[in-house]
Amino acid sequence: MKNKPLHLLFGSFFGLTAVILGAFAAHALKEVLKPEQLDSFNTGVRYQMYHALLLVMIALKGHSFHLRYERLITNLVGVGIVLFSFSIYLLNLQELLGMRLGWLGPVTPIGGTLLIVAWSLLFYNGVQLSTLKKD
């Protein structure tokens, strides 16, 4: 299972950057962003951390069970984090960056959809595993 180190690498990277971005929001951005922008930014941080933990959990699960769509799930989560969370960050920082990034608006729900598909596949795997255990 050579994908495990990559799952751990990406999961830990996304976890690390979620902590850094959360601290950045709490200390540096609270004075420059509107409250609704800060709340939106923190939504990106929360979702990034949730999904970073998911990647780490998949990497550390060992061989106790097999996820049929593991590679697809982890790819969807990784791309979903980037599209969802990072588009939120950039949309809320566009004034500070002096850039017009409104075109990123439709990117956020695409990322969210990828995360939903990943969780759906994980749920489907769980259903399959639970029915196998009963037999």
End-to-end CA distance of the chain: 27
Per-residue pLDDT of the chain (135 residues; tens, 9 = 90+): 456 778 889 999 999 999 999 999 999 999 999 999 999 999 999 999 999 999 999 888 876 667 888 889 999 999 999 999 999 999 999 999 999 999 999 999 999 999 999 999 999 988 887 886 555
d(C-alpha 42, C-alpha 99), whole Å: 21
Residue 42 main-chain phi, psi, to 5 deg: -65, -25
- Please choose, from the candidates 52, 46, 45, the residue with its C-alpha nearest in 3D space to the C-alpha of residue 11: 52
Q: Is the CB of residue 33 less than 8 Å from the CB of residue 101?
A: no
SS3 32: coil
